[in-house]
Amino acid sequence: MAKINLKYIAHFSLLTGKLEEGIEVREKTTVSDLIKRLEQKYGGFEEALIDEKTGRLNSRNKVAIRKAGGWTENITTLEGLNMELSDGDTLIFW
C-alpha cells in the first residue's frame, strides 16, 4: 500500500467538503484510478477534469502531482493519467 496526500483547492474543496486528506492506495494504482475512486466517493471529479468527448484531461481544472522531493508538475497527458502512484506522492486538484 502507498500513502498519498490529496489537496483540494477551490471547486474541489466544495466537492469534497475538505481542504486535504491522506489516503492509502494499492500498488500500481494510477492517477486515473484515483480519479475514478474520488468520483465514486464524492462525485463531480470526472466531470470537472475529463473532457467527455475525448476522454482526455480538459483545461478547465487542473490536477498536478508532486513526487516526494520533486517539483510539482501539472498532469496534462494520457501518460500522466496512467502514471503509477508511489508512497509520499501529493496530488493537487484545483
Partner 1 sequence: MCGWRGTILNVDLSSGKIDKEKLPEDMARDYLGGRGFNIKTLYQELEPGVEPLSPENILVFGTGPLNGTPLGCGRMTVTTKSPQTGFFVEGNNGGFFAPELKFAGYDIIVIRGRADKPVYLWIKDEKVEIRDASHIWGKTTWETDRIIKEELGDPEIQLRYIGPAGENLVNTSIILGNLARAGGRGGAAAVMGSKNLKAIAVRGSGGVKIARPREFQEALLEIWEDLDVDGSKDPFTRIWGLYGSPIVLRIQQEYGTLATNNGQEGVFEKVMDISGEEFLKNYVVKPKACFCCQSPACSHWCEVRDGPYAGTRTEGIQAGSTEALGSYCGISHLPAIIKGHALCNELGIGMFSTGTTIAWAMEAFEKGIISSKDTDGLELRFGNHEAMLQLIRKIAYREGFGDLLADGVKKASEKIGKGSQDFALHVKGLEYTAVEPRSSHVAALMHAVNDQGSDHTRAYPPYPPSPQAVPQEIVEKLPFDLRKASDDSIPDEKGKFLKWLFDSRATLNCLEFCLFNSRARTFADFRPFAKAITAATGMKFSADDLMEVGERVINLERSFNAREGAGRKDDTLAKRYLQEPFSKGGKAGFLPPLEELLDQYYEARGWDPETGVPTRGKLGELGLGEVADQLETLAKQMQGKHDGKD
Residues that bind partner 1 (CB under 8 A): 7, 9-11, 13, 19, 51, 58-62, 64, 66, 69-72, 90, 92, 94
Q: Report in angstroms how near the CB of residue 33 gets to partner 1 at its nearest.
A: 21
In angstroms, the Cα distances linking 20 to 36, 40, 59, 68, 75 are 18, 17, 22, 17, 19
Beta-carbon-side half-sphere exposure of residue 12 (alpha carbons within 13 Å): 24
Q: Report in angstroms how near the CB of residue 59 gets to partner 1 at its nearest.
A: 4
CB nearer to partner 1: pick between 25 and 91: 91
Q: Please, are residues 35 and 63 in contact by the beta-carbon 8 Å criterion? A: yes
How far is 27 from 14, CA to CA, in rounded Å? Answer: 29
Q: Report in angstroms how near the CB of residue 53 gets to partner 1 at its nearest.
A: 11
